[in-house]
Homo-oligomer: A and B are copies of this chain.
């Protein structure tokens, strides 16, 4: 396991009881070269492979953005420990069509409430009856929908900042020829 992954596991362990251990911000670039940024729930971290997982809906704009450019930027800030991980990542988008077993596995792990969100209609489209509930209690949440997808975020570099301690500590980790290298930076 590389050094930054060990640091991240420690941050996750220290913040287990805090909401910030469950999500991070993911920035993408659209076809016009404009940035977009949103909070996403972390659905897993493989410290050996340097990979994070996120689930989403293929009808979401970020999927079109990632299909145009797979490069994305993660910012994960832990308020409790005052640590930040800024990651350059490459995203792979898998649908039930390209990797059914991966999608099925993530779908099965979701709560019924989380699955119902995939059945609300096309995300980002106008909601014509805002007062009306989007929840169809009769909908079958056992069946994996075609528009469910899994993002596999392959981490290529990590800019780690620890605001605790005086002075602050900043360390840059980068994968070069399959090996992780790191150096201390001025914050």
Contacts and interface: CB of A to CB of B under 8 A. Distances in A.
Nearest to A88: B34
A84 interface: yes
Contact of A25 (B25, B120, B123): B25
Interface residues of A, number: 49
Given A122-B186, A133-B167, A185-B126, A29 B25 contact: no
The 7 closest A-B CB pairs, nearest first, are A27-B27, A37-B73, A37-B75, A130-B184, A27-B37, A127-B184, A25-B25
A125 interface: yes
A93 to B, nearest CB: 16
Interface string A59-84: 00000000001011111010100001
Interface string A86-122: 1010000000000000000000000000000100111
A44 interface: no
Contacts of A73: 27, 34-37
B36 A123 contact: no
Contact of A123 (B23, B135, B187): B187
Contacts of A130: 169, 184
Nearest to A122: B186
B71 A34 contact: yes
A29 B37 contact: no
A167 B120 contact: yes
9 contacts: A25-B75, A27-B73, A29-B29, A33-B71, A120-B187, A126-B184, A126-B185, A127-B186, A134-B187
